[in-house]
Amino acid sequence: MECEQLRDIVQNFRVHPQSAQGYNRVLLQLFGYLGHGKSSFINSCKFVLDGEYKIIAEAGIKDGGLTMERKSYRVTDSITLVDNRGFGFMNDFEKIEVCAQLGNFLPLDETVVWREDFGDIVARIEDADMDPNYSDYTVPVFIYSVQKMIHTEEEYEVKRFLKVCQEMTGIVPIVVLTHKTSGNYIAMEQKFKCLGAEVVIGVENYTSDDHRKTRGKHMGILNILKNALEDVQFHVNCYRDLRRERIERKKFLLRMVHDSVTAKKQKEDMEREEASRRPHHRYSVLFGLHERHSGKGQPTSQRLETEPKSTCEIL
CATH architecture of the domain formed by 3-259: 3-Layer(aba) Sandwich (3.40)
Residue ranges covered by each domain of the chain: 3-259
pLDDT of residue 100: 83
pLDDT digits (tens, 9 = 90+) for 129-176: 787 777 888 999 999 999 987 888 788 888 988 988 888 888 999 999
Closest to 192 measured CA to CA, from 148, 225, 236, 227 = 148
How high does pLDDT run on average in the chain? 80
Confidence at residue 63, expressed as pLDDT on a 0 to 100 scale = 41
Q: Between the CA atoms of 261, 262, 265 and 267, what dihedral angle is there, to the nearest 10 degrees? A: -110
- Which pTM was predicted? 0.76
CA dist 15 and 143 (Å) reads 25
> Under the phi-then-psi rule, with left for phi > 0, alpha for psi from -120 to 50, and beta for the rest, what region is 170?
left
